[in-house]
Amino acid sequence: MIKSEDGKERLVLAINPVIGHNLVSQADKIKTLEQYLEQVLEIPVQVGLWENYEETLNGMERGEIDAARLGLYAFAQAQARFGARALANAIEVSAGDNAPPVPYRSVIFTRKDTGIVGLIQLKGQEFGFVDRNSSTGYLVPSLMLDQAGLKPATDLKPHFLLGHNTVVEAVCQGKLFAGATMQSAYLHHLQEHPTCSLQLLATSPLLSRGPVAVRPGLPPRLEHKLLQALVQLDQRVPEAASLLIPTNQRFTPAAQREMTLKTVAELAGVSYGTVSRAINGRARIAPDTTARILKLVEELGYRPNSNARNLHQNRGDLIGLLIPTLQIPALDEIVAGIQAVFSEVGLQLVVCPAVLNGMAGESRKAFFELLYNNRLEGMIMTQYDAATREAGELARSGRPYALLEQDLLGEGLITARNWIEVQGHHRIALVQEQGSLLEAGFMRQVFARQAAPELEFTEEINTISSWLETILQKPEPPTLIFCSGDRTALSVQKTLLAQLSIDLSVLGFGNSDLAKWGGFPSLAFHGVGLGRLVALRLLKMLNMPSLTLSEPPLRTWIEVHH
């Protein structure tokens, strides 16, 4: 605590930007918050805004700041550097009809006019971060970029702008090519500036929120009063509460606990097992990853539990492949490509066909339980399983997983789009086949740029003939129907010829025998290559890079059958 002008001690509380903070526009809220805290604490209070976490941490360490709202990584640094303690955590409360909860996660974004659809395309570009102590503005997005194959320090031209809103504004104004920030700041900027045309490239899982932390040496009686004030903040002064918490959150007392291995793993951006292997000296981890983990262990003062370490030795070196159906095109080739990579590092693949009917839910749940019980090192899945409740819990837990079709959605759909343009088609209809690796959202995104006004899209057709009759009666009907599976493409073709007597172009996916039999073109891909790519990407997430295998580009093409 520091002395005020009249010689009395005062408490200094630091707020950090959540949504659009600046001292001028928030002056009334700051005054209200100061008056409320002074009433409860019975001493003068100063509420201040520090532009970045490093300034806040330095102030707390010098005793100039008594309490601060910190991010997860900044709080871990404060614990290690000067023994800061968590006083209160923010939790979600029930939202009203017009007030959806504000998600806490990182987003990476660019302008829509850049034509970028994937992170790897950001290589060599000007990129905006917040500051190096920001979880959502630097640490988490750096790991997202690294998992996509980009080293932020060398593959990008990084700029640290010291504010979430500053990053969004810089990208919106064209000063930077892309940037990373917390999702709430991104959404707030779009709401305030509707003409700003931005596009999300990647979104992190939901993140743990940082606490309001207090410096060591704060009098216990004052600390107790501050906690009481924070717990009642959202009810007593809801408008001023927005300086510390977004709408639909409130403070609750923080549970005091020692630094754990799980915390180290979360901050290092790796799995629980990777941290354990690094601490135990197992040699299958990249040297730079080991160095990063051990540096965090030293900085954060983690001390491993020997009993937990002994129990962890029973873990298996298995990777799970969770697929919705055994009818995925080139599945045997995909599995061969995955296993070829895993064999290099001593991992084995377990395939679980969680089919879309029957016991799908039970088999999927059991498979996720294997991962949670540390019997699996990681998991490969498709977007069908990624959308389930179990996958959401998996994402929030930080367990490593990779999407099987990620590379196919980029290279494959662009190949299809380019071929369609060469063929002279400008009005297309898209049909989604159940169980296809071509995800509906990506299909819309890739083809919307080509034919947005005329684009037709439907999920799998129940009554093909009636749907075809409807779209063909339009003034400008589609000239090509792109189906995300050869089975659906064959049904569409047969209906067009047999019932409607129309010879309309059809494009399938998978290059199966059905395409050869029907004589229609089909989007093909190298199955072994797709398997290798997803395996290598998961190894990066596990920080177990293959020593001999490089990452080849996925080969995709249109196979024309006559």
What does the pLDDT look like over 150-168, one tens digit per residue? Answer: 888 889 999 998 888 899 9
Give the tens place of pLDDT for each residue, 400-435: 788 888 788 878 888 998 999 899 888 888 888 877
- Nearest CA to 128 out of 176, 89, 96, 71 is that of 176
Q: Compute φ and ψ for 509, nearest 5 degrees.
A: -145, 135
Q: Compute the CA torsion angle 333, 339, 342, 343 (nearest 10 deg).
A: -130
Cβ atoms of 152 and 145 closer than 8 Å: yes
CATH topology of 106-203 equal to that of 318-404+543-549? no
State the pLDDT at residue 127.
97
Q: Residue 143, SS3? A: helix
Q: Compute φ and ψ for 144, nearest 5 degrees.
A: -65, -45
What kind of fold does domain 407-525 have according to CATH? Rossmann fold (3.40.50)
Cβ atoms of 293 and 278 closer than 8 Å: yes
Q: Residue 528, SS3? A: helix
Q: Please give the structure tokens belonging to residue 70.
A: 């910190």
Mean model confidence pLDDT for the chain? 79
Q: What is the CA radius of gyration of the chain?
A: 27
Which of the four pLDDT bands, split at 50, 70 and 90, describes residue 7?
A: low
State the pLDDT at residue 18.
47
Which of the four pLDDT bands, split at 50, 70 and 90, describes residue 126?
A: very high
State the pLDDT at residue 21.
47
* 513 or 205: which leads in pLDDT: 513
When pLDDT is averaged across residues 177-204 and rounded to a whole number, the result is 89
Residues in the chain: 562
State the pLDDT at residue 537.
85
Which of the four pLDDT bands, split at 50, 70 and 90, describes residue 546?
A: low
85-94, 318-327, 496-505: which has the minimum mean pLDDT? 85-94
Looking at the DSSP bridge assignments, the partners of residue 128 are: 159, 179
CATH classification of 318-404+543-549 is 3.40.50.2300, yes or no?
Answer: yes
- Nearest CA to 214 out of 102, 82, 405, 124 is that of 82
State the pLDDT at residue 25.
61
39-48, 223-232, 377-386: which has the minimum mean pLDDT? 377-386
Burial letters for 72-88: b for 16+ Cβ neighbours within 10 Å, e otherwise?
Answer: bbbbbbbbbebebbbbb
State the pLDDT at residue 506.
95
State the pLDDT at residue 46.
93
DSSP tally for the chain: helices H, then strands E: 25, 22
Cα(324)–Cα(352) distance, rounded to whole angstroms?
9
Which of the four pLDDT bands, split at 50, 70 and 90, describes residue 264?
A: confident
Whether 501 has a pLDDT exceeding 60, the answer reads yes
Which of the four pLDDT bands, split at 50, 70 and 90, describes residue 397?
A: low
State the pLDDT at residue 452.
41
- Tell the CATH superfamily of the 261-310 domain: lambda repressor-like DNA-binding domains (1.10.260.40)
Cβ atoms of 233 and 339 closer than 8 Å: no
Whether 371 has a pLDDT exceeding 90, the answer reads no
Q: How is the chain split into domains, by residue range?
A: 2-99+209-253, 106-203, 261-310, 318-404+543-549, 407-525
CA atoms within 13 A on the CB side of 62: 10
Cα(487)–Cα(484) distance, rounded to whole angstroms?
9
Cβ atoms of 354 and 367 closer than 8 Å: yes
Structure-token match 């080849």, residue found: 552
When pLDDT is averaged across residues 316-343 and rounded to a whole number, the result is 84
- Nearest CA to 401 out of 318, 284, 319, 278 is that of 319
Which of the four pLDDT bands, split at 50, 70 and 90, describes residue 263?
A: low
Candidate ranges 284-298, 312-326, 399-413; pick with highest mean pLDDT: 399-413
Collect all residues with Cβ–Cβ distance below 8 Å to 47 and sequence separation of at least 6.
13, 15, 30, 33, 34, 37, 243
* 526 or 402: which leads in pLDDT: 526
When pLDDT is averaged across residues 40-47 and rounded to a whole number, the result is 93
Degrees to nearest 5, angle at CA 407 with 365 and 453? 100
Cβ atoms of 300 and 266 closer than 8 Å: no
Q: DSSP label at 524?
A: E
pLDDT above 90 covers what percent of the chain? 24
Q: Compute φ and ψ for 5, nearest 5 degrees.
A: -65, -30
Cα(281)–Cα(6) distance, rounded to whole angstroms?
58
CATH number of 2-99+209-253: 3.40.190.10
Give the tens place of pLDDT for each residue, 439-448: 776 777 777 6
Burial letters for 196-223: b for 16+ Cβ neighbours within 10 Å, e otherwise?
Answer: eebeebbbbbebbbbbbbbbeebeeebe
Which of the four pLDDT bands, split at 50, 70 and 90, describes residue 265?
A: confident
pLDDT above 70 covers what percent of the chain? 75
CATH classification of 106-203 is 3.40.50.720, yes or no?
Answer: no
Which of the four pLDDT bands, split at 50, 70 and 90, describes residue 373?
A: low
State the pLDDT at residue 154.
87
